[in-house]
Structures are given as C-alpha cells and as structure tokens.
C-alpha cells in the first residue's frame, strides 16, 4: 500500500526543478454531480466517474480513470473549490436552490480510507452566499437576484496532500437531509494544485 505524502509550500516550489523525465503542471481536477429536484439522495461521491463512460463529457469531469490517477501520475492538492452550476440566468428560485445545496452538508476529502480535510460545504465556496433578492412579476418588471461573489477561499491546505497513482481518492459530500430544490443543481468540485506526469516521448 502506498503512503500518502504531504508537501509544504517549499516542497511545491521545488517541484519546478524536478528531473527524471517528469513535467509539473498547474492543474485542476474536476468532477460534477447532479443534485436533483425532488431527490432523496443525501450522499454524493465525487471523482468516481471518467470521461467517455456512459456519454460523460469533458464538461462534467476530466478524470481519466474513475477514482484514481493513471500509472506514473500524482496530484498535489493545494485547495478545493465548490461551484454550483445552473441554467443561465440567475433568478430568485435558482439563488435559493444554490443556497439550499451549498449552505448545508459537510465534505471530506479521502485519499485511501483517511480524510485529509473535513469541513462544512459552504467553506469551499469561500463562505456564505449573501446579497439581495426581489420579485415583482408583472408587465415591465424584472425578477432580481444577487449573490455576493466569493472573496476568500477556505478550502486551502497549508500542507498539501499528494494523491499517488493507482490509489483510491474521492470527495464525499453528505447531508443530514436531502436539499429541497425547485430545479436540479449541478455541483462541481475542483481540486486545484500541481499535476506530476511523465513527459511525452
């Protein structure tokens, strides 16, 4: 069984001079799951699907293998982001749905069987969704919704865990009760860091 490495900021800076036929890239691993309206599901496991499976496209995930990295690869995870993705056009209902999805639930980032981060899901947004909403439906009126943009990212990890090749990992999202939604919300989880892989040729 492989051991999970931990890298400091200095270790990560030193990666830029690594040799041995490897290349180091700024990279985001991402995966998207749908939280369905009227659903009862309370447990979601990200990074368990791959491009090309059952028509899954690169828009949903950039995983090549479900739940692990290919041989010769490793990923240094520096921070984690949560991004609710909805139909174009922010409305009162869609803002409420985003709040319902993102301000409840907790996440754990697993490498093997151990969690390397545990926190409320809202922390991966950079805090609370705040702003104003107004609705006055009628001739010549518009529904207005506003959500404060993220200013702080709390999913950062000072000591960055390294996902080794061919080793299981996932991000687990669990709710005490399924969110009540007016429309389904696609939630994307992004792991931001450094991808280490063999050079071409």
Is residue 41 included in any domain, yes or no?
A: yes
Is residue 132 included in any domain, yes or no?
A: yes
Written as six digits, the tokens of 109 are 């980032």
Query: How many structural domains compose the chain?
Result: 1
Is residue 1 included in any domain, yes or no?
A: no
pLDDT digits (tens, 9 = 90+) for 79-120: 999 988 866 566 777 778 888 898 899 999 999 999 999 999
Is residue 171 included in any domain, yes or no?
A: yes
pLDDT digits (tens, 9 = 90+) for 130-189: 555 555 555 555 555 555 554 445 678 888 999 999 999 999 999 999 999 999 999 999
Going through the chain in order, the beta strands assigned E by DSSP cover: 6-7, 22-35, 43-46, 74-85, 106-111, 114-120, 133-134, 144-145, 160-163, 169-174, 185-198
Tell me the whole-structure pTM to 2 decimals: 0.83
Residue-number span of the structural domain to which 103 is assigned: 6-198
Is residue 188 included in any domain, yes or no?
A: yes
- Phi, psi angle pair for 109, to nearest 5°: -100, 110
Residue 112 to residue 2: CA distance in whole angstroms = 9
Residue 42 to residue 78: CA distance in whole angstroms = 27
Among 14-18, 53-57, 144-148, the least confident range: 144-148
Written as six digits, the tokens of 70 are 């290919």
User: What separation, in Å, do the N-terminal and C-terminal C-alpha atoms of the chain show?
Assistant: 29
Partners of 191 in the beta sheet?
29, 80
């Amino acid at each position: 069984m492989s051991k999970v490495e931990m890298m400091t900021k200095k270790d990560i800076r030193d990666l830029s001079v690594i040799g041995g036929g490897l290349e180091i890239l700024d990279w985001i691993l991402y995966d998207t799951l749908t939280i369905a309206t009227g659903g009862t599901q309370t447990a979601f496991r990200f990074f368990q699907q791959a491009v090309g499976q059952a028509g899954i496209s690169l828009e949903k995930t950039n995983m090549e293998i479900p739940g692990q990295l290919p041989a010769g690869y490793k990923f240094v995870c520096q921070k984690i982001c949560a991004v609710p993705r909805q139909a174009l056009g922010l409305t009162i209902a869609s803002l409420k749905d985003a709040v319902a999805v993102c301000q409840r639930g907790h996440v754990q980032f697993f490498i093997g069987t151990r969690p390397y981060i545990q926190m409320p899901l809202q922390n991966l947004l950079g805090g609370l969704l705040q702003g104003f909403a107004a609705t006055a439906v009628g001739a010549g009126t518009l529904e207005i919704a506003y959500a404060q943009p993220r200013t702080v990212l709390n999913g950062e990890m000072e000591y960055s865990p390294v996902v080794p090749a061919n080793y299981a990992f996932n991000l687990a999202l669990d709710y005490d009760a399924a969110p009540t939604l007016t429309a389904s919300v696609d939630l994307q989880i992004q792991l931001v860091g450094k991808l280490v892989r063999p050079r071409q040729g």
